[in-house]
Amino acid sequence: MKILIVEDEDLAVKKLQKTLAAANPSAEVTGITDSIKSTVEWLQDNPVPDLILMDIELADGQSFEIFNLTEVKAPVIFTTSYDEFALKAFKVNSVDYLLKPIQKEELEAALGKFMKLKAQGINFDTLVKQLQQKLQPKEYRKRFLVKHGQKLVSVEVDEIAYYFSDGRLNFFKTFDNRKFVVDYTMDELEDMLDPDKYYRISRSFYVSINSIDKIDDYFGNRLILSLKPAVDKEALVSREKVTEFKKWMGK
């Protein structure tokens, strides 16, 4: 097992090497870097290691920045002195995270988890991509440029109450009751809009949480929404989306 250690404290490097040798004598440290810059350079100039032990706090910033600067193809076990970083869900998107001072038993368990995932045929490329997505919050659409008569106007997304389709064209309506044609499909809009603010209640309707005035039961185990401003078609929550919609409303 070839390992890259990313750690900016000499004492911590020596301790980690000693702990690693005790936890897994066959592990080979093929590189040691101490900064974002040196790690990016090492990853670009050397064969991909089997595993990276990466400290979160480096001298030139947090190691998350490495993922913005180069493609990280190896799975990662994070090391940190700060328990708060556990809240970033590393256990889901990285192999593991370890709190300093790192104990032999904890490192053994993390390496064991890595070997188990490897034996199960886990796609580490996918795991690393998920980690990158987690560390790089998605940028959602902030505004749309739309036609208004002979002019083009820019409308902020936060001004939009809902999006809907009439089967031919897609529209949105603003909270001050202006209606515009939007040149995107509902599927494309789904990828552009912040899911905390907008919810797709059916194939042809997207609503802002701030546009919902009232929710009523509707036949067929569906819900019907009263929206503000008023909409000229029924805003129905499809049967298969009712449970998820209720969870979204209760966040």
Mean of the pLDDT values across residues 109-114? 86
pLDDT exceeds cutoff 90 at 162? yes
State the pLDDT at residue 163.
97
Helices 124-135 + 104-119 axis angle, to 10: 120
Indicate the average pLDDT of the chain.
Answer: 88
- Whole-angstrom CA distances from 77 to 21, 85, 107 are 16, 13, 9
**pLDDT tens-digit profile of 21-75?**
999 999 999 999 999 999 999 999 999 999 999 998 898 988 888 888 888 888 8
pLDDT(101) > 70: yes
198 vs 227: CA distance, rounded Å: 13
Q: Record the pTM.
A: 0.53
Backbone angles phi, psi at 115, to 5 degrees: -65, -35
Quick check: 215 pLDDT over 60?
yes
Q: Give the model's pLDDT for residue 158.
A: 95
Lowest mean pLDDT among 35-39, 118-122, 159-163, 231-235: 118-122
Report whether pLDDT(87) > 80: no
Say whether 249 sits in a helix, a strand or coil. Answer: helix
**Mean pLDDT in residue range 108-134:** 76
In sequence order, what are the residues at sequence separation of 6 or more whose Cβ sits closer than 8 angstroms to the Cβ of residue 107?
19, 20, 23, 98
pLDDT at 99 over 70: yes
Position 89 pLDDT exceeds 50: no
